[in-house]
Every structure is written in structure tokens, then in C-alpha cells.
């Protein structure tokens, strides 16, 4: 029997002497590292080019400083190993000087993104455009929702999912080059896992070639990576703190808190603290099994109690009241009913009650004159008799002069008309024609003491009109045409149904 000779592994060193092979290997390593340092912003002059040995050494030293390696300036084994680890594809800063300043003052600074900016609103929508086919859709959506809630739990931000159409922040999976520039082309498994853009582009892209997972076992944990990229879309740069979620390198889900003190200071520096209660920190073990989740992390009585008063710990989209003095509080794709005695229902989906009504309405009101519900979103309006959408609706009401995206809608008894508020103006609208009455809009100064940008209003059985914005209310006297009191609605208006407002907050 003739034994076949085992083939020698192919190597670039074949045909070269040991010394020549070592030189070639070092040259290739240096070229690869130069591309890495250019991609992630470690040279003073951005973009590809020829860099002097001194510039290269300084860039390597800055990279070592950021990754907490000995500052040798040499491409030693630990440095090469660190560069090869999976990480975020978003750059590490605009200049090596900026990184050096961040590294030396990390204990005293809050990460902000002077080049990326911030969102100038607190209510943001997001959309999951696509996802890996091997992951269940409902689990992906739960993981993404939880990732956004990480940030809203420690800031004043509020997020809502848009199932289709436009959204402020879009999450998309791509293969390889996807028209973001060659520097942002995905490189297959390992390397850059994802990248994102600062406000207000609102895009986060994920490498489809990675093996993504929603569990704590094998694969890249999608929840952790999504949460990190969301940070970028909100305006956060990479952090030099190793334990921070915004550290550039991938880390597995652990039992520790997902957000570090550095992450929390960073997001609060941009958007402020939660307007109700204190920031909520959650350990990584909470996010290990999304397949077991329903709508909340809590079970039993705690879940029912939390769901019924969730709107008390956040903001709502709109509010109105009916003939029986029931309150209707709207948020996203759900609404709550609060009875005249102050008892709140669990959140109810909009669709069964008002078929065809989209989530995230801008304003609504119930008319004492006609007994009809009016809803407004964008430039369109809906009118319902009970649960029946009237023929011919929705209509493009902005074509009749009504404001797009009104802040607040109200039926005003004295005028027997609808009133829409938008910024520093208000519009009086006829129910019959849904057109703006002559001589309007007028200045909000007619409503003495009322601030612009309210989120909703209602006529209460005590004879006053109540306006709401964030966690504040304004009590308006219809006879005097002025604000006569203001305060915190969740704690000072018992009829809002927030009996357990001081008992803590929930994740969802």
C-alpha cells in the first residue's frame, strides 16, 4: 500500500527564508493595523493616507490607552489580540487628542457627542425593519423593546415601536457593503458586529453574517448589541470605561447591571433624569430568556397593579373624557379608562374599540354637542360614533386649514366648537364643516397662563378645564379665562387614578 504524502499547509512564508517571512508578516500586520486605526479614528488626519512612524506609534499608544493596555506604542501580542476582538463598527472618536482627554478625565466627564448632537424631542419612534429568519419575530421585538427601555428607564426619553412606515430610529440587518461607504461595509463573522449613526439620522445596522442569539449561550447576544447601538442613535460616543455598555468591544450578557454609572450619566447629560421617580437599573439575568416574556417582567398582583397605572409613571399622547366622566388616556397603541371614582383599567388595545385608528395619536377629544370622538394624527382626522368610524373618514383635515400634528384637542362648551392647540396658537373648528372658523388661528395669550405644547386637555365635572404636559397640569377657569392653579397631576389629582404612584416603576 502506497502512503500518500501529507500536503504541507500553504503559507506566505513558502519560498522565503525565516527572516524574510518574519519581515513580510510584520509588514502585513502593520498594514492591517493601519487600516484599523484609520477606520476607528485614531489618526489626527481622518481618512486613508501615509502616516509617519511617529504618528503611527502615537495612534497605537492612544488605542492602548483606550483599551487599558500598557502604553508601549508597539504592535505587541496583547494589542493585536485586542484589535481582533468583535466590536462596534462606529468610530472611537474624531481625534486621538479627544480620546486622550476622555481617558484622562473619564471619572469627571459625561459622554456627549458634540459632532453627533442630540434629539430635540423626548418621544421617539423606532422600527425593526428586518431580522434574522432563524429568530422568532416576537422575541426579537421584545429584545429590541427592552433595549430601548434600558435607556428610557434612566432618562426622560420615551420610545414607541412603529410596525411600518417612517420612524425616528430604524434597525436593519445587512450583508457586506450596503451603501454606507466602504469603511462601513460589514466584514462577515467577527470584527465589526454593527454600527450606528448619531442623531438625527437615526439608523442602526447589524451584520447579517453574524450568528445572533437572544439567549445567554452561543452566538452574539442581540439584546446587548442593539442596546449599545441605540446609545449611538441617541448621541452617545464610545466610553473608555470597560464596564460601560458603550464600551466599543462586545461583551456577553452578565448578571451585573447592563448600564454602568458612565452610561447613565451620559444619557442624563443629554436628556435629563426620569421625570417620575428615580432611574431604574436592571441586572443582565433579566434579559436572558425573552421567549418567557409576555408584556411585563412581573407577575401576579404586581403585574396587574403596574399595568393599570403605567401611564402615571410616564407621559401620555392624549386625554379626554366622556358624558359619564370616564377619562380616556392614550399612549401608543393602547388606552386606559379611569372611572369617575378614580379606578384605572388595564391597558386596552385601540383597534377593537376604535377600528382603523393608528397608534401614537397626536390629540383627541369627545364632543359634548355631538357625542362623537375626534382623533388627530399628522394631517389626518378620524371621527367615531361609539366604535363606528363615520363614512368618509379618515380625512385630510390639514387641507382645511387645521394644524398638522396638533398638540391638544378640546371641546369648548362656551363656543360649542372644537379647539385645537398648536405651539403658540389655537384654532377654533366647526364640527359641521371641520373647517377653521374666521379670524383664527389666534395667539395662545388669549388663554392666560397656559404654556405652549400641552399634550392633552379635558373639561372636568368640577367646572374647570385641565391641561396636561409631561408630569404637570394647569387648571383653567372658563369664566376668568385664565390658569388658576398648577401642579403634578399624578400626585395631586386623585381622579387621574394614580393611587400607587409612589410605589415604584416598572420596565414596560
Is 180 marked as binding a ligand?
A: yes
Is 485 marked as binding a ligand?
A: no
Of 40, 33, 37, 42, which is closest to residue 91 (Cα–Cα)? 40
Is 204 marked as binding a ligand?
A: no
Is 1 marked as binding a ligand?
A: no
Is 246 marked as binding a ligand?
A: yes
Residue 229 catalytic? yes
Is 205 marked as binding a ligand?
A: yes
C-alpha cell, 485:
392653579
Using the 8-state DSSP alphabet, how is residue 249 labeled? B
Three-state DSSP string of 57-104: HHHHHHHHHHCCCCCCCCCCHHHHHHHCCCEECCCCCCCHHHHHHHHH
d(CA 233, CA 230): 5
3-state secondary structure of 350: helix
- Cβ partners under 8 Å of residue 451, min gap 6: 469, 474
Is 409 marked as binding a ligand?
A: yes
Other beta carbons within 10 Å of 454: 22
Of 210, 173, 212, 208, which is closest to residue 189 (Cα–Cα)? 210
Considering only CA atoms, give the Rg of the chain: 28
The dihedrals phi and psi of 261, each to the nearest 5 degrees, come to -60, -35
The dihedrals phi and psi of 37, each to the nearest 5 degrees, come to -70, -35
Is 362 marked as binding a ligand?
A: yes
Of 69, 71, 60, 64, which is closest to residue 38 (Cα–Cα)? 60
- Of 38, 58, 229, 237, catalytic: 229
Is 462 marked as binding a ligand?
A: no
Strand partners, 443: 425
Is 334 marked as binding a ligand?
A: no
Is 263 marked as binding a ligand?
A: no
Is 23 marked as binding a ligand?
A: no
* Residues 467, 444 contacting (CB under 8 angstroms): no
Other beta carbons within 10 Å of 215: 16
- Cβ partners under 8 Å of residue 358, min gap 6: 377
Is 498 marked as binding a ligand?
A: no
Is 187 marked as binding a ligand?
A: yes
Please state the residue numbers annotated as binding site. Answer: 88, 168, 178, 180, 187-188, 195, 205, 207, 210, 228, 232, 238, 246, 317, 319, 362, 409
Catalytic residue list = 229
Please state the residue numbers annotated as binding site for Zn(2+). Answer: 88, 178, 180, 195, 205, 228, 232, 238, 246
Please state the residue numbers annotated as binding site for Ca(2+). Answer: 168, 187-188, 207, 210, 317, 319, 362, 409
Amino acid at each position: 500500500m502506497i502512503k500518500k504524502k501529507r500536503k504541507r499547509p500553504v503559507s506566505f512564508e513558502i519560498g522565503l527564508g525565516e527572516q524574510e517571512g518574519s519581515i513580510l508578516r510584520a509588514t502585513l500586520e502593520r498594514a492591517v493595523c493601519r487600516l484599523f486605526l484609520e477606520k476607528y479614528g485614531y489618526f489626527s488626519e481622518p481618512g486613508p493616507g501615509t502616516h509617519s512612524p511617529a504618528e503611527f506609534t502615537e495612534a497605537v499608544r492612544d488605542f492602548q490607552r483606550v483599551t487599558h493596555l500598557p502604553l508601549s506604542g508597539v504592535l505587541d501580542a496583547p494589542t493585536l489580540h485586542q484589535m481582533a476582538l468583535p466590536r462596534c463598527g462606529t468610530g472611537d472618536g474624531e481625534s486621538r487628542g479627544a480620546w486622550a482627554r476622555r481617558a484622562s478625565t473619564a471619572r469627571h466627564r459625561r459622554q456627549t457627542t458634540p459632532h453627533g448632537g442630540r434629539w430635540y424631542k423626548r418621544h421617539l419612534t423606532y422600527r425593526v425593519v428586518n431580522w434574522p429568519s432563524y429568530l422568532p419575530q416576537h422575541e426579537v421585538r421584545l429584545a429590541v423593546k427592552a433595549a430601548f427601555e434600558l435607556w428610557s428607564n434612566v432618562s426622560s426619553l420615551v420610545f414607541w415601536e412603529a410596525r411600518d412606515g417612517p420612524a425616528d430610529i430604524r434597525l436593519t440587518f445587512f450583508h457586506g457593503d450596503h451603501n454606507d461607504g466602504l469603511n462601513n461595509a460589514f466584514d462577515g463573522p467577527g470584527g465589526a458586529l454593527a454600527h450606528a449613526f448619531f442623531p438625527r439620522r437615526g439608523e442602526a445596522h447589524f451584520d447579517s453574517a453574524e450568528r445572533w442569539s437572544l439567549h445567554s449561550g452561543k452566538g452574539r447576544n442581540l439584546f446587548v448589541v442593539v442596546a449599545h447601538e441605540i446609545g449611538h442613535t441617541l448621541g452617545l460616543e464610545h466610553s473608555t470605561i470597560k464596564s460601560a455598555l458603550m464600551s466599543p468591544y462586545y461583551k456577553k450578557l452578565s448578571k451585573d447591571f447592563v448600564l454602568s454609572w458612565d452610561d447613565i450619566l451620559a444619557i442624563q447629560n443629554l436628556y435629563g433624569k426620569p421625570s417620575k421617580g428615580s432611574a431604574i437599573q436592571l441586572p443582565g439575568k433579566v434579559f436572558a430568556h425573552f421567549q418567557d416574556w409576555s408584556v411585563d417582567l412581573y407577575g401576579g398582583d404586581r403585574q396587574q397593579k403596574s399595568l393599570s397605572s403605567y401611564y402615571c409613571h410616564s407621559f401620555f399622547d392624549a386625554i379626554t373624557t366622556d358624558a359619564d366622566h370616564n377619562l380616556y388616556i392614550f399612549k401608543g397603541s393602547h388606552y386606559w379608562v379611569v372611572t369617575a371614582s378614580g379606578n384605572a383599567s388595564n391597558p386596552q388595545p385601540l383597534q377593537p374599540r376604535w377600528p382603523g385608528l393608528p397608534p401614537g395619536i397626536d390629540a383627541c377629544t369627545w364632543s359634548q354637542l355631538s357625542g362623537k370622538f375626534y382623533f388627530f394624527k399628522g394631517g389626518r382626522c378620524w371621527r367615531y360614533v361609539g366604535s363606528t368610524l363615520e363614512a368618509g373618514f379618515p380625512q385630510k383635515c390639514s387641507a382645511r386649514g387645521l394644524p398638522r400634528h396638533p398638540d391638544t384637542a378640546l371641546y369648548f362648551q362656551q363656543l360649542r366648537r372644537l379647539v385645537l392647540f398648536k405651539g403658540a396658537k389655537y384654532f377654533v373648528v366647526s364640527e359641521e364643516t371641520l373647517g377653521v372658523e374666521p379670524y383664527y388661528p389666534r395667539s395662545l395669550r388669549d388663554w392666560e397662563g397656559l404654556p405652549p405644547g400641552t399634550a392633552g386637555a379635558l373639561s372636568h365635572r368640577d367646572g374647570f378645564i385641565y391641561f396636561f404636559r409631561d408630569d404637570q397640569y394647569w387648571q383653567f377657569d372658563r369664566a376668568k379665562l385664565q390658569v388658576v392653579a398648577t401642579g403634578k397631576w399624578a400626585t395631586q389629582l386623585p381622579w387621574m387614578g394614580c393611587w400607587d404612584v409612589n410605589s415604584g416603576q416598572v420596565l414596560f
